[in-house]
Chains A and B, each alone.
Chain A
Amino acid sequence: MKSISLYVERDSFIHDVDPITKLLYILFALLIPIILPTFTISFFCLGISILLLIVAKVIRKTVPVFSFVFLVLITVVIIQGLFKPENETVLFQIGPVAMYKEGLLYALTITLRVTNIVSSFLILVLTTKPSDLVETLVRKGMSPRIGYVIVSVFQIIPEMMSSMGTIMDAQRARGMETEGNLFVRVKAFVPLLGPVILGALINTKERAMALEVRGFNSRTPKTYLYEEKKYTHSKLIQSAMLFLVVGAVAWRIFV
Chain B
Amino acid sequence: MKKIIVEGLKYKYPLSDTLALDDLSFEVNEGEFIGIIGKNSAGKSTLCQALVGLVPHFYKGAYGGKVIVDGLEVKSHSIADIALKVGMVFQNPFTQVTGSKMSVYEEIAFGLENIGLPRSEIIERTDYVLDLLKIEQVKDHNPFDLSGGQMQRMAIASIIAMKPDILVLDEPTSQLDPAGSEEVFSAIQNLSKQGITVILAEHKMEKVAQYCDRVLLLNDGKMVDLDSPAIVFSRKDLEDHGVRAPVFTRVCKALGVKKADSDDYPVTLEDAEKVLRGRML
Question: Which residues of A are at the interface with B, using a C-beta cutoff of 8 A?
Answer: 1, 131, 144, 147-148, 151-152, 155-156, 159, 203, 206-225, 227
Contact = CB atoms under 8 A, between A and B. Distances in A.
A214 B158 contact: yes
B40 interface: no
Contact of A222 (B100, B102, B113): B113
B111 A214 contact: yes
B106 interface: yes
19 contacts: A131-B101, A147-B100, A151-B99, A152-B100, A156-B99, A210-B90, A211-B98, A212-B58, A213-B52, A213-B88, A214-B110, A215-B162, A216-B114, A218-B80, A218-B83, A218-B114, A219-B80, A222-B114, A223-B118
B119 A227 contact: yes
B200 interface: no
Contacts of B118: 223
Interface string B77-92: 0111001101110101
Contact of B84 (A144, A215, A223): A215
A223 B95 contact: no
Given A207-B99, A211-B98, A214-B162, A224 B119 contact: yes
Contacts of A1: 142, 144-145
A151 B110 CA distance: 13
Contacts of A223: 112-113, 116-119, 122
B80 to A, nearest CB: 4
A139 to B, nearest CB: 12
B143 to A, nearest CB: 8
B115 A215 contact: yes
Interface string B116-132: 11110011001000000
B217 interface: no
A222 B117 CA distance: 8
A148 B114 CA distance: 12
Nearest to A134: B100
Interface in B34-58: 49, 52, 54, 58
The interface centre, meaning the residue of B49, B80, B100 with most chain A CB atoms within 10 A of its CB, is B100
B79 A206 contact: no
B99 A215 contact: no
Interface residues of B, number: 46
A131 B58 CA distance: 28
Nearest to B108: A225
Contacts of B145: 1
Contacts of B175: none
B115 A210 contact: no
Given A214-B98, A215-B84, A215-B162, A209 B119 contact: no
Contacts of A203: 94-95
B99 A152 contact: yes
A162 to B, nearest CB: 9
B125 to A, nearest CB: 11
Given A212-B79, A218-B80, 7 more contacts: A148-B100, A152-B98, A155-B102, A203-B94, A206-B92, A210-B155, A215-B111
A167 to B, nearest CB: 14
Contacts of B113: 222-225
